[in-house]
């Protein structure tokens, strides 16, 4: 029988609670589908800062690198908010992404019929939204050099960062996006600011050049300011969106809020080879941590993405996705997605209902 | 009697139609309030490219610089979309902003009770939204050097831009924002990405340092990804937002779409001294240009901002604002904001109704 190693990074806040639910779901589908999973649980983020004084300990990184896939809970909390930059929990995430070279961040934003009322958008605007943001994750202004805070010739303090993309970085993320669009509804919208930024001009040129290899995919381009508007005006116009690191950070969060159910949304970060990093898109929610109130479904669905994209275990992934829908159909809701006529449950109970459905 | 010079820049697409309406409104309030306005109409954008081959002719810039204020219609169109960067209509806008040193871009996003249904957000989320985005307009990644497209040591093409802010640039825009918040509901939210970018760390530090001078203003900070979400989740939480050039580009467009009535929203760009630049936030809408379908109210309200911020003629400004509301209350609507039970009118007729109301 096949056997996989998964590094679990529960992290901070509600991280441990949601990871525990997802771990149970992974274990159950593994036994049903006839493969083994070995788990290694490691510190990351604030938890690692408290335990060993750095946000990403060497042991954590080497466990992650050796694994077949990584499942992360959440990172950060008020406690570490005033730390210096290199001692902030979020740095673990940036270092992990860089070290694992997971340049492709897939962030679906889907409005489930069961949860359409959770959106702040009118029902007719929200229903049926099903889009995927493909965000470049290891380049651009997040990693560009030079960067820093220094003093200029006039004695003025200046803060600076570099937005920079090489053609090969754009090409490889564009390929993932074209492939993704091909498996979806065949529409790809590349978002940039090519009317102002040279980095965006090269982005647009490179994406456009690739289009001839994907004649079945309909490519369009949109400026980032317009994309931020169109997501509010008519999110259904989008199928797959591809964009750079910082625009992807902003637009994928906007898109996820449009669904109204951030507690439901998973993500996958993939490289050319090596393990992928899978995590819910929500944060560590320190205000409800430890109270059994968190919605574990985003992490459970991240585990499904892990099975599909990370291990190639499509059937096991589908089992988990179906179980999540089944638990919703049977009326179970955590607080964040609860509405009249449904059964309010905590994190653990939601986890048990998912296990039953599996 | 006082006398002012205004440079009119109709520009492209629907620009000339909406500027003509706003000019009539300015002329009428001037005569009622007892001051004179001399108008100088100049080419800009695509119109200037067609006429003299550059997007911002020297005559246009010198007229603008000598004026007391500038009113711009709209810039751009399909026709010039494939021009090289320096021959694109939008370059006129960037050059104008830089040359006039109008570093403070004020962009209100207000949901009028008369138009709450135009928003794609649920009524209870949209109604009462009244926020102001104060965007830094002459710095950051829009103007930062080095920038360009070149080849790196590995023979790879790279595109790069520099996000850079000096402390004084942050301080002067933050001052405008604090003053703006003080005249509104006393709440200022500064938006940055200080968990990743050094330029944002300096931004946050500088804004925070200024807060002690404005004890009556409640200052908060938000990451840009979260701000993009919160604008969708609960836009009413915001009063005044201050942010850098590129984040302001994205968030102000998102905020304006949340109101659902982009055809209604004005903007002002102000410097320390010298004339301000006033323009509707909508584009040139080439698809409806010349068809008398455009909504002139955003330009009319930009003229009101011009009177208030540009000339200090508060009473004349209020007269125009009141007239716009009155025309709406009397049931007149252009196509973009029309709904059942209202009178559908074209651009010219809407202009005449505003004049009647004045
Ligand atoms: C925590 C932060 C560094 C991170 C990012 O900006 O990438 C987060 O917002 C995300 O989107 O995963
Ligand atoms: C046309 C473009 C250069 C401009 C900008 O990005 O500033 C526009 O989007 C705006 O917001 O005025």
Q: Tell me the per-residue pLDDT of A256-304, one tens digit each, with 9 for 90 and over.
A: 999 998 999 999 999 999 999 999 999 999 999 999 999 999 999 999 9
The answer to whether the CB of B93 is under 6 A from ligand 2 is yes
**DSSP label at residue A323:** H
pLDDT score of B75: 96
User: Per this entry, what is the length of chain B?
Assistant: 358
pLDDT score of B85: 85
User: What are A23's two structure tokens?
Assistant: 């771990």
Ligand 2 atom, smallest distance to B97 CA: 7
Residue A241 clears pLDDT 90, i.e. is over it: yes
The reply to whether A225 belongs to the active site is: yes
pLDDT band at B56 (very low <50, low <70, confident <90, very high): very high
Residue A1 clears pLDDT 90, i.e. is over it: no
pLDDT band at B202 (very low <50, low <70, confident <90, very high): very high
Ligand 2 atom, smallest distance to B245 CA: 7
Residue B6 clears pLDDT 90, i.e. is over it: yes
d(CA A286, CA B338): 45
- pTM for the predicted model, two decimal places: 0.96
pLDDT score of A21: 98
Residue B49 clears pLDDT 90, i.e. is over it: yes
Strand-strand pairing, B266-270 and B276-280: antiparallel
pLDDT score of A75: 96
CA dihedral (B32, B33, B34, B35) in degrees, to 10, reads -110
Look over chain A and give the mean of its residue pLDDT values, rounded to a whole number.
97
The answer to whether the CB of A93 is under 6 A from ligand 1 is yes
Find the DSSP H helices in A43-86.
46-52, 58-66
**What's the whole-number mean pLDDT along residues B289-309?**
97
Count of pairs with CB atoms under 8 A, one residue in A, one in B: 179
- Nearest residue (by CA) to ligand 1, atom 6, is A249
pLDDT band at B261 (very low <50, low <70, confident <90, very high): confident
User: What are A31's two structure tokens?
Assistant: 């036994």
Ligand 1 centroid to Cα of residue B298, in Å, is 36
CB contact under 8 A, A258 and B232: yes
* Residue-wise pLDDT tens digits, A76-132: 999 998 888 889 999 999 999 999 999 999 999 999 999 999 999 999 999 999 999
**Facing residue for B161 by CB, picked from A163, A195, A231:** A163
- Nearest residue (by CA) to ligand 2, atom 3, is B90
The answer to whether the CB of A59 is under 6 A from ligand 2 is no
Decide if B293 contacts B335 (C-beta within 8 A): yes
Which one of A11, A75, A90 would you pick to mutate in the ligand 1 pocket, going by the greatest count of ligand atoms within 8 A of its CB?
Answer: A90
Ligand 1 atom, smallest distance to A93 CA: 3
Look over chain B and give the mean of its residue pLDDT values, rounded to a whole number.
97
Which residue in chain B has the smallest CA separation from A191? B250
Element (H, E) at A160: strand A157-166
pLDDT score of A82: 85
**What's the whole-number mean pLDDT along residues B331-338?**
96
d(CA A64, CA A71): 9
> For tokens 């300011």, what's the residue?
A225
Mutation target to probe the B interface, by most B beta carbons within 10 A, among A141, A159, A165 is A159
Mutation target to probe the A interface, by most A beta carbons within 10 A, among B168, B232, B255, B259 is B232
pLDDT score of A322: 98
Residue B203 clears pLDDT 90, i.e. is over it: yes
The reply to whether B193 belongs to the active site is: yes
**What's the whole-number mean pLDDT along residues B15-26?**
98
CB contact under 8 A, A253 and B226: yes
Percent over 70 (pLDDT), chain B: 100
């Amino acid at each position: 029988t096949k056997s996989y190693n998964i590094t679990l990074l529960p992290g901070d806040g509600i991280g441990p609670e949601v990871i525990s639910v997802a771990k149970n779901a992974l274990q159950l589908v593994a036994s049903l589908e006839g493969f083994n999973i070995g788990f290694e649980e490691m510190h990351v983020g604030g938890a690692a800062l408290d335990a060993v004084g750095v946000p990403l300990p060497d042991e954590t990184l080497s466990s992650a690198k050796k694994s077949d896939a990584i499942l992360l809970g959440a990172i950060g909390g008020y406690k570490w908010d005033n730390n210096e930059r290199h001692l902030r929990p979020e740095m673990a995430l940036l270092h992990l992404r860089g070290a694992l070279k997971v340049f492709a961040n897939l962030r679906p934003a889907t409005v489930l019929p069961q949860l359409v009322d959770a959106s702040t958008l009118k029902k007719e605007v929200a229903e049926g939204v099903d889009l995927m943001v493909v965000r470049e994750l290891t380049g651009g202004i997040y990693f560009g050099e030079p960067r820093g805070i220094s003093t200029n010739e006039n004695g003025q303090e200046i803060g600076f960062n570099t937005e920079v993309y090489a053609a090969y970085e754009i090409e490889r993320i564009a390929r993932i996006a074209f492939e993704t669009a091909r498996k979806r509804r065949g529409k790809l919208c590349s978002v940039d600011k090519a009317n102002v930024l040279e980095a965006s001009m090269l982005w647009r040129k490179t994406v456009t050049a690739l289009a001839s290899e994907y004649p079945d995919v309909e490519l369009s381009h949109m400026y980032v300011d317009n994309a931020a508007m169109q997501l509010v005006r008519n999110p259904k116009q989008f199928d797959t969106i591809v964009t750079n690191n910082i625009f992807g950070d902003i637009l994928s969060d906007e898109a996820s809020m449009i669904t109204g159910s951030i507690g439901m949304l998973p993500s996958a970060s993939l490289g050319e080879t090596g393990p992928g990093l899978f995590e819910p898109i929500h944060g560590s929610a320190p205000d409800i941590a430890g109270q059994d109130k968190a919605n574990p479904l985003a992490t459970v669905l991240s585990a499904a993405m892990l099975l599909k994209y990370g291990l190639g275990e499509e059937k096991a992934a589908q089992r988990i996705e179906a179980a999540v829908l089944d638990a919703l159909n049977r009326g179970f809701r955590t607080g964040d997605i609860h509405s009249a006529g449904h059964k309010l449950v905590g994190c653990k109970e939601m986890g048990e209902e998912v296990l039953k459905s599996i």
